[in-house]
Amino acid sequence: MASLEKKNVLVTGGAGFIGSHLCEKLIKTSRVICLDNFATGNVSNIDFLLQHPDFAFIRHDVVEPIDLESFPELERFKIKFQGLQEIYNLACPTSAKDFDKFKIATLAANSVGMKNVLDLAVKYKAKFVHTSSSVVYGPRQEDKELFKEGDLGCVDHLTPRGCYDEGKRFSETMVGTYREAHNLDAKIARIFRTYGPRERLFDGEMVPDFIIDALDNKDLIIYGDKNFSTSLCYVDDVVSGLIKLMAAPADIGPVNLGSNEDLKLFDVAEKIIVMTGSESKIIFEKPLLFMTALGLPDTSKAKELLGWVPLVRLEDGLQKSIDYTQAYKPLLRQQGMVDQR
């Protein structure tokens, strides 16, 4: 049991897109330790939290052994006596354009890194939520509209992106095995495509690039054709789902978090052009390896067992993203250019 009023919560990958939003939400009720190696995260995502008395950042790679009691900056968290109460694992590089650059790091994060973080959960008897991905279901199927958690996906583990797709499947196996072997309260969130402020620019995710290019009246690039479609869930909704999952019973099993609305990216791009009053055109380029057509989630389990449904409408989420980009446009462009070096 925690000896202090607030829980100690570790968020690995906490300086990333979703991770930083999760840290921002958790800091309202908990003491948050954010661990990240900045492979695809960025200090600008958490700079507003760095002076918060209940927040600490540790620059560290989960692939290396993790001894939280050895970091002097965590002394005020009294880890040795209070331990950790919760761990959210989001540590895995994700980069559509630089996928090849992070192949080995991705492989390691989904195996050695998973072991290190799970060992921490065992040591402190902490509740654990792992962020898996919709890729475990394999590519979109013509005869199947929605994926349920019990569906068995078909993934070719020897493709160039197998380190991520099969890696996410293996990381789920590790969670299940640790739960059984150590009676660990460990859960799995299968996250579908997410958008919102702090998404990396110029990385092939398209929606943040649509916005900044529309503001500059530049061409909006779709990596695919006019029929490329996907689901998009606003980041605040995903964060809400992760927190609800942490509080759920231990035996809940994997849970889908995402939107089941099928959207053509061409329509999203057009909507952004209208919302920004842009004169941009939409052009098409060769699909990126990482940007494959994925299925849509059946979210009935999340609704029934967590009381969770996405609440943010696409128009509202895009407006929040546009407002953020307008406010931080010079910084975002500079950061994006640095990330692409």
CATH number of 8-194+232-257: 3.40.50.720
Report the C-alpha gap between 217 and 16 in whole angstroms. 28
Strand 31-36 and strand 8-12: the pairing is: parallel
User: Is the CATH number 3.40.50.2020 carried by domain 200-230+261-293+313-339?
Assistant: no
Question: Where in the chain do CATH 3.40.50.720 domains reside?
Answer: 8-194+232-257
Report the C-alpha gap between 90 and 11 in whole angstroms. 7
Residues 6+ apart with CB under 8 A from 51: none
Query: To which H or E segment does residue 255 belong?
Result: strand 255-257
Report the C-alpha gap between 26 and 24 in whole angstroms. 6
Q: Which has the closest alpha carbon to 206: 55, 97, 65, 110?
A: 97
Instruction: List 131's β-bridge partners, or say none.
Output: 189
Q: Which has the closest alpha carbon to 118: 167, 176, 78?
A: 176
Mean pLDDT by 10 residues, the chain (341 residues): 74 98 98 97 96 97 97 95 97 84 94 98 98 91 86 84 91 97 98 95 88 96 90 97 97 97 96 98 85 85 98 98 90 58 38
Q: Which has the closest alpha carbon to 239: 188, 191, 169?
A: 191
Q: What pLDDT does residue 280 have?
A: 97
Query: To which H or E segment does residue 12 belong?
Result: strand 8-12
Question: Where in the chain do CATH 3.90.25.10 domains reside?
Answer: 200-230+261-293+313-339
* HSE (side-chain half, CA atoms, 13 Å) at 85: 19
Q: Which has the closest alpha carbon to 170: 218, 114, 209?
A: 114
Q: Annotated active-site positions, please?
A: 164
Instruction: List 263's β-bridge partners, or say none.
Output: 230
Report the C-alpha gap between 181 and 116 in whole angstroms. 16
Q: What pLDDT does residue 51 have?
A: 95
Phi then psi for residue 107, to 5 deg, are: -60, -45
Q: Which has the closest alpha carbon to 195: 111, 263, 130?
A: 263
Q: What pLDDT does residue 5 have?
A: 77
3-state secondary structure (DSSP) of residue 339: helix
CA-CA distances (angstroms) from residue 46 to 38, 66, 123, 176? 11, 21, 27, 31
Q: What pLDDT does residue 289 have?
A: 65
- The string of pLDDT tens digits covering residues 245-297 is 999 999 999 999 999 999 999 999 999 999 999 999 999 998 876 667 778 99
Sequence letter at residue 234: Y
Structure tokens at 151: 């569906």
- Burial label for 80, CB within 10 Å (0-12, 13-18, 19+), is exposed
